[in-house]
Amino acid sequence: MNDHDLALARRGLRRSATFDPATIHDIQRAAATGIYDIRGGGAKRPLPHFDDLLFLGASMSRYPLEGYRERCGTDVVLGGRNAAYPLHLAIPVTIAGMSFGALSGRAKEALGRGASEAGTSTTTGDGGMTPEERGQSKHLVYQYLPSRYGMNPDDLRSADAIEIVLGQGAKPGGGGMLLGQKISERVAGMRTLPQGIDQRSACRHPDWTGPDDLTIKIAELREITGWEKPIYVKVGASRPYYDVKLAVHAGADVVVVDGMQGGTAATQDVFIENVGIPTLAAIPQAVRALQELGVHRKADGVQLVVSGGIRNGADVAKALALGADAVAIGTAALVALGDNDPRLDDEYRAIGSAAGYYDDYQDGRDPAGISTQDEELAARFDPVEGGRRLANYLRVLTMEAQTIARACGKAHVTHLEPEDLVALTIEAAAMARVPLAGTDWVPGQGR
């Protein structure tokens, strides 16, 4: 109990676990405004996560690699199953799809700069491809979304990979949203929308409705792009075992599974917090689907990219150990660019937030100039400096993952395996399908 709660308790006042202060505030806000809360970011509620896993490390029975001396590879190849030109990435950490519109053009440019410097890919979003993003991204994944805003065959052919988006972790089953204050003249032009309206884009693709149709759609995209480019299918984590199987059957080269901690630029809070499953629970289901289809970690296999709550190299290593081939970061990449910088705390407070808490990406008043279309605010952000910071962060993630992999005796980060992991909680053990630490008990596995 903190000092404030202790003082209240001494006065005989007890906080309700059901109607806590945040809940009471939500009810009061709803009653005052008559509309649900919209915000950015991912699920904030406590969830079983990578923090609930530990690596065992080498000891008598395992042989570690020398840190800083013995090589521990980090490169990954994505999309070689059907594409003539798969992506060869230097590190297993990619940048997730975030739209121009949600982010400023300069922020998108910085993501491209940082990713390229680190040898990895970045991804467009629900708003088309900008020249500054294409120009600064060595490996650019072009998202194919239900809205098809800005979708055109020239950009499709200039992309290095295509990602068909069925959903995202923050809102599986929901469509895009960009509120009027961010629909600037340029954003409106790229999306063929009236300037300043509230954009609520479709949640379903307009010209296919199920996995059989998706098979035909993927074949069409391959025909249009000459069978050159890897085709990803991205799903929000809800039923990953079935979704991954269907995506592979439909012809995906890469499947992206985004857990509920994955961020969004603008979605209803009730949606973010109550729909989807945690990243930790999604990975083993996705891996099982790939294994049953015989395409997991095979030369001509289908790669799994996992996103949603990746923050440090330990998270990267744990995702890879559970079977992901790579991870994608969104929220963490924005923080690396300068989002929620404590030096801007006064300005965050002036708009009703605080450094470390800012998630009103829908609002367009971002003091860091990242999630805005306001030219004055956007001009505050230096894409070269932002790109450098992102590259630094990506290097740290990679080195941290290598540190753990070497300690587990692995010559490549993707050699990490579930056997290297234990769980701290019964919930995490059941979800990740690794033993509870100090036991050989995997809940639900009958042993």
Partner 1 sequence: MDALTVPTREVDLATTPLRTLNALLQGREVTGETPLGADEGVTVVNPRGAHAVAVGLDAPRQVRVAGHVGYYAAGMNQRADVVIEGNAGVGVAENMMSGSVVVRGNVSQSAGATAHGGLLVVEGDAAARCGISMKGVDIVVGGSIGHMSAFMAQAGRLVVRGDAGEALGDSIYEARIYVRGEVASLGADCVAKEMRPEHLEELAALLKAAGFEDDDPAAYTRYGSARTLYHFHVDNASAY
- Cβ atoms < 10 Å from Cβ of 22: 8
Least distance between partner 1 and beta carbon 271 (Å): 14
Q: Is 210 in the site for partner 1 (CB under 8 A)?
A: no
Under DSSP, is residue 363 helix (H, G, I), strand (E, B) or coil?
Answer: coil
Give the residue with the Cβ less far from partner 1, 175 or 443. 175
- Pick the stretch among 73-81, 198-206, 232-240, 346-354 that binds partner 1 (CB under 8 A): 198-206
Asked if 189 interacts with partner 1 (CB under 8 A), we say: no
185 lies in the site for partner 1, by CB under 8 A: no
Q: Who contacts 250 (Cβ-Cβ below 8 Å, separation ≥6)? A: 211, 212, 214, 215, 218, 233
Toward partner 1, which CB reaches closer, 227 or 241?
Answer: 227
Question: Applying CB under 8 A, which part among 13-21, 201-209, 275-283, 294-302 lies near partner 1?
Answer: 201-209
Using the rule CB under 8 A, is 350 a contact of partner 1? no
HEC per residue, 203-219 = CCCCCCCCHHHHHHHHH
Interface with partner 1 (CB under 8 A), residue from 131, 194, 294, 356:
194
Closest to partner 1 by CB, 315 vs 363, is 363
Task: Determine the angle formed by the axes of helices 313-322 and 279-292, rounding to 10 degrees.
Answer: 30
Total of residues contacting partner 1 (CB under 8 A): 33
Q: Tell me if 412 contacts partner 1 by CB under 8 A.
A: no
Question: Between helices 279-292 and 240-250, what is the axis angle to 10°?
Answer: 40
Checking phi first, is residue 409 left (phi over 0); if not, alpha (psi -120 to 50) or beta?
A: left
Which residue, 148 or 415, is less far from partner 1 as judged by CB? 148
The rounded distance, in Å, linking the Cα atoms of 287 and 74 is 20
Site string for partner 1, 144-183 (x = CB under 8 A): ---xx--xxxx-x-----------------------x---
208 counts as binding partner 1 under rule CB under 8 A? yes
Cβ closest to partner 1, residue 202 vs residue 384: 202
Stretch that binds partner 1, among 217-225, 238-246, 288-296, 311-319 (CB under 8 A): 217-225
Q: Is 219 in the site for partner 1 (CB under 8 A)?
A: yes
> What b-and-e string marks burial along 209-228, b requiring 16 or more CB atoms within 10 Å of the CB?
eebeebbebbeebbeebeee
Q: From the CB of residue 84, how many other CB atoms can be counted at a distance below 10 Å?
A: 12
DSSP of 3-66: HHHHHHHHTT----SSS-HHHHHHHHHHHHHSS--EE-SS--S----GGGEEE----SSS-PPP
Distance (Å, whole) CA 278 – CA 258: 9
Contact between 22 and partner 1 by CB under 8 A: the answer reads no
Q: Smallest distance from the beta carbon of 23 to partner 1, in angstroms?
A: 21
Cβ-based neighbours of 25, under 8 Å, separated by 6 or more: none
Task: Tell me how far, at minimum, the Cβ of 221 lies from partner 1, in Å.
Answer: 9
Positions touching partner 1 (CB under 8 A) are 33-35, 147-148, 151-154, 156, 180, 191-194, 197-198, 200-202, 206-208, 213, 216-217, 219-220, 223-227
